[in-house]
Chain A
Amino acid sequence: MLKIKAFIRFFIAIGFGFFIGLTCNEQHAGAIDKKETTASHSKEEEPAHKAHHQGCLNAIETCEVGHAETKIEGDTLKVWFVGGGTDTGRSVRVPDQIINLTITTPDKKTKNLILYPKPNILAEEKAGDCSFFEGKAPWLIGLQKFNAAGKVNFKGKERKIIIEYPKGYDPD
């Protein structure tokens, strides 16, 4: 005997399952969608201010002038000089042979670190015409947070570098 209530319950269950299935279905165009880390100045930053090396972006004077993307890997501090605004994927070469950084650690101690150029051969960079710098020191290992200051000849002018790691520096 056909029972209305049983029918209605059955179809409600089916309908519920159907909608659960629809909402759980995450078929979208593109099977592999690499999610690049968008570590940038702050949480409110637009996604376009992308740190292409998964470091943190520090504005050089202002965001529009340029950025120094900074990252610690083991005992090495890496700094890439890149464009301003949303142009953080374009390298900016600087003529400096070395860059001196004064690093203040969370325990208020200051230390000096010298960054040396590491030219991108594939972009035909060389020392004195280089966008990427590295500095090594054993005390960098495990350093999670620091502030740093220095100077660099960026886009034809001597400018201050202010680094606030890991959140990034944005005066705007």
Chain B
Amino acid sequence: MSLWRIVFKSLRQHRLSTGLAVFSIALGVALLISVISLREQSHHNFTQEGLGIDAVLGPKGSPLQIVLNALYHLEEMPGKIKWSYYKKVIEDPIVSDGIPFISGHSFAGFRVNAIDDRFFTDFEFLPGKHFSFNRNAGGDGRSFQSRNEAVAGWAVAKMLDIKLGDTFNPVCGVNAGDPIHVNDTLTFVGIMAPTGTPHDRAIYIPLKTFYTLEGHGQDVAQMAVDEDCREISGAYLKIKRIRGGALHPGIQDLKYNISQSSAAQLVIPTEVLPRLFNIIGWVDHILLAIAVLVTLLATLFLFTALISALRERRRDIALMRSLGAQRRTVFGLIITESILITLLGGILGLCFGHGIVAIGSYFIKIETGLRFSAGYLSVADIFVIPSMLIMGFLAGLLPAIQAYRLSVLKNLTPVS
């Protein structure tokens, strides 16, 4: 009989406590894995090169609000900027392109953005990637070409079961109870292929359609034809690159120059979002602390289980010693048992953790359009197995020492 068999036998003999220990460790590890994976992926998602947007020209107000609205279709823009100011900005030598948009409408809980049609051809939702309506890629139809046409993001189409030719009436606002443009019926002519970005969660209509929606008033309608009084919510700006693909260093000067005006501000997403994470970073830390605590408690449970199991096994251990097992052998048996339990718990926890991420990813994708991957390998994945080895060793150390020091004669029935 090999020593490994003795270990496995022992684990089976105490299968209830072994099972509980494995389960509780798996739970702690699953929490750790899922929290860290979601945390890292959300950091990545929210900071991935500004989602293809170098800068957002927006009104004065909270830069974070502008980024959340322009990139993630959340919040509302804090104001409007003049079309003439936008034109001045895109004439700056370091600006290569701009795509103006107007936000503030919605349909069935999804944002409806009026946008320049170059959004579908020139805009890079991720560096080097353009929108597509290709059926093979999951899209359908085409971009809008006339006033009453609209395009749906992939997640919107999936959630609302939108087909080409379906119609809708946009809501003038983003809150429940806001008025509906009942006399403006728009038709879906395109569904964008999924991009894994928040743009999947929006509906897009022509820029000029916004101005002519009934109920906006004559002064807004005038903006459709008169550039001098036209206003927009903001614009996505593409900045020129220098050697190596880095942003033109003049972007900071441009940002400074625009910020000196009373009309607008330039927001660089990759500068703003880290601040968001700094603010909510404590939530992160608390979740992580909870996960770590659960894992430590599970290890403590294992420790107590091993200690109490040892009390039952004193005789067995004394018997093995009398059969010739050395002190270090019984020490090793206990340690190996402990490590096997934590290792098994760790492996199960890895699977559970990625399972939790898979489930969470599905709902996050539906709710935000952001893609999270169950197969993402985080820092935790790399360290979980070595950590389990260490924890198993530590949890089993005291019981193993007790086994090591166990007196053979005292634990076998004396005869004469």
Contact = CB atoms under 8 A, between A and B. Distances in A.
Contacts of A28: 274
Contacts of A100: none
A106 interface: no
A123 B260 contact: yes
B243 interface: no
Interface in B74-103: 85, 88-89, 92
Given A122-B258, A122-B260, A21 B331 contact: no
Contact of B47 (A14, A30, A121): A30
A125 B260 CA distance: 10
B260 A90 contact: yes
A121 B284 CA distance: 43
Interface string A11-54: 10011011001100101111111101000000000000000111
Contacts of A91: 256, 260
A32 B47 contact: yes
Contacts of A27: 40, 43, 379
Contacts of A4: 328, 331-332
Interface string B240-281: 000000000000111011111100000010110111111001
A29 B281 contact: yes
Contacts of A2: 3, 328-329, 331-333, 335-336
B49 A32 contact: yes
B47 A122 contact: no
B253 A11 contact: no
Nearest to A122: B257
A89 B259 contact: yes
Interface in B323-379: 328-329, 331-333, 335-336, 379
A21 B92 CA distance: 46
A14 B386 contact: yes
Contacts of B259: 89
B260 A131 contact: yes
A97 interface: no
Contacts of B286: none
A112 interface: no
Interface in B281-299: 281, 284
B43 A29 contact: yes
B260 A120 contact: yes
Of the four ranges (under 10, 10 to 19, 20 to 34, 35 or more), the interface on chain A belongs to 35 or more
Contact of B389 (A11, A33, A90): A11
Contacts of B382: 21
A25 B335 contact: no
A7 interface: yes
Contacts of B277: 29-30
B5 to A, nearest CB: 13
A124 interface: yes
B48 interface: yes
B274 A29 contact: yes
A81 B90 CA distance: 25
- The residue among A18, A30, A31, A124 with the most chain B CB atoms within 10 A of its own CB is A30
Nearest to B89: A122
B393 interface: yes
A11 B393 contact: yes
- The residue among B257, B278, B331, B336 with the most chain A CB atoms within 10 A of its own CB is B257
B336 to A, nearest CB: 7
Contacts of A22: 383
A47 to B, nearest CB: 14
B179 to A, nearest CB: 36
B273 A30 contact: yes
A53 B253 contact: yes
Interface of B: 3, 40, 43-44, 47-49, 85, 88-89, 92, 252-254, 256-261, 268, 270-271, 273-278, 281, 284, 328-329, 331-333, 335-336, 379, 382-383, 386-387, 389-390, 393
Given A2-B335, A14-B389, A120-B260, 18 more contacts: A2-B328, A4-B328, A4-B331, A7-B393, A11-B389, A11-B393, A15-B386, A22-B383, A27-B40, A29-B281, A30-B275, A31-B44, A31-B48, A31-B274, A90-B260, A122-B89, A122-B92, A123-B260
Interface of A: 1-4, 7, 11, 14-15, 17-18, 21-22, 25, 27-34, 36, 52-54, 89-91, 120-125, 131
Closest 5 CB pairs of A and B: A30-B274, A29-B277, A2-B332, A123-B260, A31-B47
28 contacts: A2-B333, A3-B332, A4-B331, A4-B332, A7-B393, A11-B389, A14-B386, A18-B386, A21-B379, A27-B379, A28-B274, A29-B43, A30-B278, A32-B274, A33-B274, A34-B270, A34-B271, A36-B252, A53-B256, A54-B252, A89-B256, A90-B260, A120-B260, A122-B85, A122-B260, A122-B261, A123-B258, A131-B260
